[in-house]
Structures are given as C-alpha cells and as structure tokens.
Amino acid sequence: MSDESRTPRRRTALRLGALGAVSGLLAGHTALAVAELVSAAVRPEAGPVVAVGGAAIDRTPASLKLWAIRTFGTNDKLVLQLGILGVLGLFALVLGVLAARYRRVGSAGVLLFGAVGALAATARPDSTGVGDALPSVVGAAAGAALLYWLAGRLRQTPPAEVRAKPRPPSSDEPAEADERGRPERDGGEGTQGPGWDRRRFIGAATAAAAASTGAGLLGRALNRAGGERAAKARSRVALPPPSSPAPRVPRGAALRVPGISPFTTPNADFYRVDTALVVPRVVPSSWSLRIHGRGVTRALRLSYDDLLSMPLVERDITLTCVSNEVGGPYAGNARWIGVRLEGLLARCGVEPPSRGGPADQLVAHSVDGMTLGTPVEDVMDGRDAMLALGMNGEPLPLAHGFPVRMVVPGLYGYVSACKWIEDIELTTFDDYDTYWVKRDWAREAPVKTQSRIDTPKPFARPEPGTVVIAGVAWAQHRGIDKVEVRVDDGPWRRADLAAEDTRDTWRQWSLPWEATSGSHTLTVRATDRTGTTQTQERTRTVPDGASGWHSVLVTVG
Ligand SMILES: Nc1nc2c(c(=O)[nH]1)N[C@H]1C(S)=C(S)[C@@H](COP(=O)(O)O)O[C@H]1N2
Ligand SMILES: [Mo]
C-alpha cells in the first residue's frame, strides 16, 4: 500500500478503465442509433431493441407476464424496453473496459450482441425475411468499428515517445497547441505516467457522439413518418352509415354517479393489451384480408374498400381481457361498426360444426404475427361477431387494430378480438394451437360473470352519512340480471341496476349506503341471466380468467 510507484500505475489503470467504459457506452449508443436509422429503411419492428423485446415477450412465462402486467400495467412495454436498454448499457460498459486492454475482444463482443439482435429480428413471427437482420448487423458493425478505433487511441504509448514527437503547432490546427503535452500532466502523473492520444480520443468521441445522436434522431423521425402515413390514411377514411344501426341506448343506461366507469369508454381511455412493441402501421390501400382453410369452398380476398362497401352493422359490445384481475381495469365498452362475420363466412361456404362443418376453430392472423383462435360455432350462432372497422364513431385507432379487427361478444379478447387482422384460417382446435394457447391459456374462454366497485375507491375515507357505492357488472352475451352488495359480513342487498343496453354490454349499478364510522369492507357480486351467481372462489387469471368477488376497504372518518 505504501509502495509509491503503484499509485500512478493504479491511477492509470483506473483512467484506462473509465475511458474504456466511456468508449463502450459510445459504441453501444452508436450501434443502437445506426440500427434505428437502418430500421427506418427496413421496418421499425426489425430494430434490435424491439426485436429482442418481442422475443422476450414471446418467451416470458405466463406467471412473469402476469406479474409485469400487475406491477406496471400498460407501462409494461416501456419498462421492458428500458430494462433491455439498461442491460445493453451495462454490457457496453463492460465491453468498453475490456476493449481498453483487449480491443479485439471488445469489438467482437459488440458484434456478438449484433448477432443476438439479428437472430431475434429474423425469428419473430412477423419477420419478413433476412432483411430484418440488417439493422442489428449494420449497427453492431458501426459500434464495433468505433470501439476498436477508440480503444486504439487509449493504447498506452511510452511517455518518452509522446515527448519525443511533439507535433509542431500549425496554424490550421489551433487546438493542437492547447492539447500538446497535456497527456503528461494528466492526473498529475508527470513524466512517470504513460501517454495516450487524448486529443484524438476526445475529438473522435465527440464526433461519434454527435454523429450517432444525429443518426438516431433521423432514424426516429423517419420511423415516425412511417407511422404518419398510416395515420394520414386513417384520417382520410369516411365510414359509411351502418345499414343496421345500434339499438338506441335506453335512457337510464348511464347513471349519474361521480367516479363510476362511463357507459361508453372513450377511445382515449380504452384499455390496450397486445404484444406489439411498435404499433403496426397499416396503410389500407396495401392491406387485404384472406379467408381460407377447411370447409371453405370459395376462398376470399377482401380489400378495405370491399369491406367498406358491404352492409355494415353497428353494435355496442363490451370487451374484456382474460388478464383482468378481479376489480381490474381491462374492460371497456365501445360502439363498433363493422361487417358481420357470420354472413361473410357463409359466403365462403363455411358451415359451423353443429351443421356438419369440418372446421371448429377460426384462427385469425394479424400483420404482427399474432394468432387468436375462436370457436367457429360461436362466430356463427347468431351473435354479432364482426370485422370491426370503426370504434365509437371513428375508424379504429391505430393502437386498437386499424384498419380492421375482430370483435366477438361474450369471449375474452385473446380468443376473439384480433387487431390488425390480415388472415382468417378455418381449421380445428386439434390441428392448431394459437399464440396464447401455447403459453398455458385455455383454448376456449367465454367471459366470466364479473362485477367491479368503481366508487368509493380502495382506502377512501368518506364522511359518515350517505355514500353511493357504484360500479359496473358484465356477463357478455348472457346479460346481467342482478347485482348485490354487502357491507362487512352483513346481508346481501340488491343494488339498483341501470337500464340494460344489450346483453353484450356491461351494466352500471349503484347502491346508497348509510356509512357509519370505522373501517368497512364493501363486496359486490353479480348474477347473470342464466341465473348463475358469480362465484366467490378466487382463481388466478391463467388459464381462463379470474373469478372471485371484488372487495374494497374504506375507512369512514
Ligand atoms: N394482433 C393482436 N391482436 C390482439 C392482441 C395482440 O396481442 N395482438 N391481444 C388481444 C387481447 S389479449 C385483448 S384483451 C384485446 C385487447 O384489445 P384492445 O387493446 O383494443 O383493448 O386484443 C386482442 N387482440
Ligand atoms: Mo386479453
């Protein structure tokens, strides 16, 4: 410790490590920025972070996914991407430190990460070919080259050499004069320390930082422009009036209770659940939908305009996600406009199994490689299963499936509501396991009867006196018959039900309660039109939706 000669050497090692780390981070930044730029030319989905994130989503076990949804809600994707960036940053740092001593190893490490990105991009279900490897490959090559070069500048040159070859100050390089000689002064090492090409390192690092930031920003702008094409096309769509308008929502379907979920969920507030890290941006003019498969006697290929020119129906339908916990937010009610699927399938010669048709599963494929499987029987039993083009009076928002998605009343979204749909394949449940089914979710999943207390909120502190307890209940395609509320272990009391719109929509309910001081547990349960009361038995969301009663604890002050 007291050995004097070790201190400068250690300081040199530290400096080398720190500068190596900076080089690594710069190389990582450059690699990602160049990849972003190249992905704008290929496809935004082929960028390494999106590709690796997508691969991670595909491989995440259901339990971890649930935890992520529960913990981060709809921010789960942001958290995932930040996590990937964090890990990449850490590795870039380590590779940089390595590169300061072994520059080939450092650069090879960067290339290895490029290979991982390239593999992930080409292996994604929506990959369009080997071109998807380009962003990762070109980005990694740029990053590796930069790291190699920067690490070269860090090479220790004997101080004697630095002093022996002072560059003469020249008028066209004024900085030279300022920087000359600095290496020896750096860190107070004097003539003992090794020299390094500080001037060129700083110059190159700054240039690389600026250039890669520019490339990244340009790539981002180009990617955004790609998104704007779809948005523009969407803004030009004029949905024709439906030939079968939605039944008028009865007066009294919407209660005037502060804090209750509105009967119709505005598009901006509608929950979003999907695996897409980049929202697919489909331009309708280059989109079509194919219907084919078992029992299809006339395969169809439909353009967006074909669908717009067909008779359109308009229906209120409540959509729910199987990942919704008891009391959770993943349910919404919208007014959809679209083409009924039953007629379309009949036109293709499809018969439901109950009439001898050979296909019992309809597999919907989306442009982003998602697959969702729906019972053909359900789609053709008279319910308003549709290819939706509109949501609450507008063309589908991009995040909700523009240009076309499926909606089937009564089934959870993951077995029915394919967004960005491009292909409908008639097959069997025996022959085809869809995306979620391969990940432990049930093949068939009708929505479970559920109810939710919207107000008061958990841990609210209302004043003693009249407190209105209110919320929504749903049992799509069966209908809600009764909602009951219990305070603590008291008797079940019937809540006032809002007027029913249709049996495919949720129903608001409310109950005035004379709140007394103290802590109270409010519990709700619903009974559907089949006479079945929501079960108390708590189950997890996997495999076919959560069950149990929603309770809210409040403290009356
Ligand atoms: N292409 C695609 N469609 C999809 C999904 C998806 O991940 N990708 N998720 C499904 C699930 S699980 C649900 S609950 C609904 C949610 O639709 P929303 O995001 O419009 O509310 O979309 C369904 N359609
Ligand atoms: Mo879902």
The closest residue, in CA terms, to atom 1 on ligand 1 is: 419
In this predicted structure, the answer to whether residue 164 has a pLDDT above a threshold of 60 is no
Q: Which ligand is nearest to the CA of 546?
A: 2
Residues 6 or more apart whose Cβ sits within 8 Å of residue 328: 452, 546
Predicted local distance difference test score (pLDDT) of residue 112: 95
Residues 48-66: what's their mean pLDDT? 86
* Mean pLDDT value across the chain: 90
Q: What distance in Å separates the CA atoms of residue 109 and residue 96, rounded to the nearest whole number? A: 9
**pLDDT band at residue 4 under the 50/70/90 scheme:** low
Q: How far away, in angstroms, is 68 Cα from ligand 2 center? A: 14
Residues 7-30: what's their mean pLDDT? 91
Based on the fold, state whether residues 369 and 501 are members of the same structural domain: no
Number of domain units in the chain: 3
Neighbouring-strand partners of residue 387: 339, 406
Q: How far away, in angstroms, is 416 Cα from ligand 1 center? A: 9
Contact (CB, 8 A) for 471 and 261: yes
Would the CB of 370 count as within 6 Å of ligand 1? yes
In this predicted structure, the answer to whether residue 163 has a pLDDT above a threshold of 50 is no
* Tokens of residue 536, six digits: 């108390």
Q: Which ligand is nearest to the CA of 436?
A: 1
Go through the chain and tell me how many residues it has: 557
Q: What is the pLDDT of residues 238-263, one digit of tens each?
A: 999 999 999 999 999 999 999 999 99
Predicted local distance difference test score (pLDDT) of residue 200: 83
Does residue 254 lie within any of the structural domains?
no
Neighbouring-strand partners of residue 427: 361
Measuring CA to CA, which residue among 328, 323, 421, 316 is closest to residue 373?
421
CATH number for position 515: 2.60.40.650
Q: What distance in Å separates the CA atoms of residue 292 and residue 299, rounded to the nearest whole number? A: 5
Domain that holds residue 492: 450-556
In this predicted structure, the answer to whether residue 482 has a pLDDT above a threshold of 60 is yes
Does residue 49 lie within any of the structural domains?
yes
Would the CB of 414 count as within 6 Å of ligand 1? yes
Based on the fold, state whether residues 336 and 407 are members of the same structural domain: yes
Domain end call among 439, 459, 481: 439
Q: How far away, in angstroms, is 89 Cα from ligand 1 center? A: 32
Would the CB of 366 count as within 6 Å of ligand 1? yes
Q: How far away, in angstroms, is 530 Cα from ligand 1 center? A: 28
* Tokens of residue 487, six digits: 């305070």
Specify the pTM.
0.87
Does residue 445 lie within any of the structural domains?
no
Predicted local distance difference test score (pLDDT) of residue 156: 56
In this predicted structure, the answer to whether residue 161 has a pLDDT above a threshold of 70 is no
Predicted local distance difference test score (pLDDT) of residue 188: 36
Q: Which ligand is nearest to the CA of 542?
A: 2
Residues 472-498: what's their mean pLDDT? 98
Predicted local distance difference test score (pLDDT) of residue 70: 76
Domain end call among 418, 439, 460: 439
Measuring CA to CA, which residue among 265, 526, 304, 254 is closest to residue 420?
304
The closest residue, in CA terms, to atom 13 on ligand 1 is: 413
CATH number for position 320: 3.90.420.10
Based on the fold, state whether residues 29 and 136 are members of the same structural domain: yes
Q: How far away, in angstroms, is 331 Cα from ligand 2 center? A: 9
Does residue 62 lie within any of the structural domains?
yes
553 or 13, higher pLDDT: 553
Please state, in angstroms and as integers, the Cα–Cα distance from residue 360 to each residue in 182, 265, 377, 382, following that order: 78, 33, 7, 16
**pLDDT band at residue 139 under the 50/70/90 scheme:** very high
Based on the fold, state whether residues 418 and 455 are members of the same structural domain: no
Would the CB of 439 count as within 6 Å of ligand 1? no
| Ligand 1 pocket test target in 335, 402, 419 with most atoms within 8 Å of CB | 419
Which of the residue ranges 94-103, 125-134, 142-151, 303-312 would you say has the lowest mean pLDDT?
A: 125-134
| Ligand 1 pocket test target in 269, 271, 274, 447 with most atoms within 8 Å of CB | 274
Predicted local distance difference test score (pLDDT) of residue 171: 42
Predicted local distance difference test score (pLDDT) of residue 197: 76
Q: What distance in Å separates the CA atoms of residue 391 and residue 55, rounded to the nearest whole number? A: 30
Q: What distance in Å separates the CA atoms of residue 185 and residue 141, rounded to the nearest whole number? A: 35
Based on the fold, state whether residues 190 and 339 are members of the same structural domain: no
Which of the residue ranges 79-88, 404-413, 441-450, 499-508 would you say has the lowest mean pLDDT?
A: 79-88
In this predicted structure, the answer to whether residue 340 has a pLDDT above a threshold of 80 is yes
Predicted local distance difference test score (pLDDT) of residue 89: 95
Does residue 425 lie within any of the structural domains?
yes
Predicted local distance difference test score (pLDDT) of residue 196: 67
Would the CB of 422 count as within 6 Å of ligand 1? no
Does residue 157 lie within any of the structural domains?
yes
In this predicted structure, the answer to whether residue 232 has a pLDDT above a threshold of 60 is yes
Based on the fold, state whether residues 67 and 165 are members of the same structural domain: yes
Instruction: Please report, rounded to a whole number, the percentage of residues in the chain having pLDDT higher than 70.
Output: 92
Predicted local distance difference test score (pLDDT) of residue 122: 93
**pLDDT band at residue 72 under the 50/70/90 scheme:** confident
Residues 437-447: what's their mean pLDDT? 95
Q: How far away, in angstroms, is 319 Cα from ligand 2 center? A: 9
Instruction: For tokens 């359109």, name the residue.
Output: 312
The closest residue, in CA terms, to atom 8 on ligand 1 is: 274
- Ligand 1 atom at minimal distance to the Cα of residue 436: 12
Would the CB of 66 count as within 6 Å of ligand 1? no
Instruction: Please report, rounded to a whole number, the percentage of residues in the chain having pLDDT higher than 90.
Output: 78
Q: How far away, in angstroms, is 445 Cα from ligand 1 center? A: 14
Q: Is 399 exposed, middle or buried (0-12, 13-18, 19+ CB in 10 A)?
A: middle
Q: What is the pLDDT of residues 268-302, one digit of tens each?
A: 999 999 999 889 999 999 999 999 999 999 999 99
Based on the fold, state whether residues 191 and 135 are members of the same structural domain: yes
Does residue 214 lie within any of the structural domains?
yes
In this predicted structure, the answer to whether residue 29 has a pLDDT above a threshold of 70 is yes
Residues 12-30: what's their mean pLDDT? 93
Q: How far away, in angstroms, is 324 Cα from ligand 2 center? A: 8
Q: How far away, in angstroms, is 338 Cα from ligand 2 center? A: 21
Based on the fold, state whether residues 481 and 551 are members of the same structural domain: yes
- Ligand 1 atom at minimal distance to the Cα of residue 274: 7
Q: Which ligand is nearest to the CA of 273?
A: 1
* Tokens of residue 157, six digits: 């040159």
Based on the fold, state whether residues 53 and 196 are members of the same structural domain: yes
| Ligand 1 pocket test target in 60, 69, 414 with most atoms within 8 Å of CB | 414
Predicted local distance difference test score (pLDDT) of residue 446: 98
Based on the fold, state whether residues 351 and 461 are members of the same structural domain: no
In this predicted structure, the answer to whether residue 13 has a pLDDT above a threshold of 50 is yes
Does residue 250 lie within any of the structural domains?
no
Residues 458-477: what's their mean pLDDT? 98
Based on the fold, state whether residues 83 and 222 are members of the same structural domain: yes
237 or 15, higher pLDDT: 237
Based on the fold, state whether residues 424 and 456 are members of the same structural domain: no
Domain end call among 196, 226, 256: 226
